[in-house]
Structure 1
Amino acid sequence: MSELSQSSPTKRVGFVPTFALSMVVVGVILTGAMGPLGGRIVQGALTATPHAPDWALLGALSPVIKIHLYAALAAVALGAALMVVRKGRAFHRAAGWTWVALVAAVAGSSIFITELNHGGWSLLHLFTGWTFLILPLAVIAARRRSVARHRRMMMGLFYGGFAINLLIAFIPGRTLWQAVFG
């Protein structure tokens, strides 16, 4: 027998260390991508003054950005609720389908948000493609009763997609930053 067939199975790394490592990697990538703007962003973060949302600023956004923003906020709130409730019950199924629709609306609307990159897509649109790939696969996994796969995919979308993009949305100088801290 070969040595490979006799080796013990590899131990899986838990969610928290994997998530922490992925956030560090994203931070390094963002720091490198921002280059010379990094100092201005750090300075903006240090001088932040939280206040009530600037509704006039949010009201002046284009309709597609409003759809994107409000669907994302609803998906974050509903997703957080889904993380803490008991799974497999009627509420989980109904709220899960609602969350899927909200995430699809967030990803679908993001295709039309191109103002930041002079009419073209940016690197953030890679999350859109990833969402359109993983979201239906996660639903299929649930329908096939592959609970572990469904859980990994949905948690990856929730924490990876929304946590990372929420951090990016609150970079000093961006609209959400201006609405809450600017």
Structure 2
Amino acid sequence: MALPAASRWSIVAHNVRRLMARDGLTYEEVCEATGLDARTLRGVLRAAKRPHAKTLQKLAEGLGVTPDELFAGDESAARAEFDAATNPAIEEAVEAAPDLFDDWTPSDFGELASRVGAGGALTPHGVRMAAELMNANRQTIDRARIVLESREAEALRVVIDALYERATAR
């Protein structure tokens, strides 16, 4: 059994987030640039359902790309497939706990597959631990994005700057 294939809508969601990060855009700025409402944009970013063609066209135009770029594949998927083929513990972990891998993109599996345990390839237990950590980190980042769009943004920036200084101090 191969790793679950990302749906085309997960790829669109991944590419929209990538383009937003590339251009430093907030949800509000994307909504303004595209003419989409926040609910529609959130649905696209969650890959919750198939967006209308007009929605995809507005997104592409607002982000300054062609609609095809919204569907562009991820090169890391090929690397992830190779890594997964050489480390069957990932497939085993996916089969044992599929809910742990909900909404994962090819990039997520690529990141997981590129990790190794202390003695080499990940064990099924190590895969589960790494996936749980990746999910927790994703949840923290999602929460930070929400805080950064609130009146608490400056407080979060101060905390992150202080922690960054500590983490990178030599």
TM-score range, shorter chain: under 0.3
TM-score, normalization by structure 1: 0.24
TM-score, normalization by structure 2: 0.26
Q: Which has the larger radius of gyration?
A: 1
Report which structure shows greater RCO (CA 8 Å, sep ≥6). 1
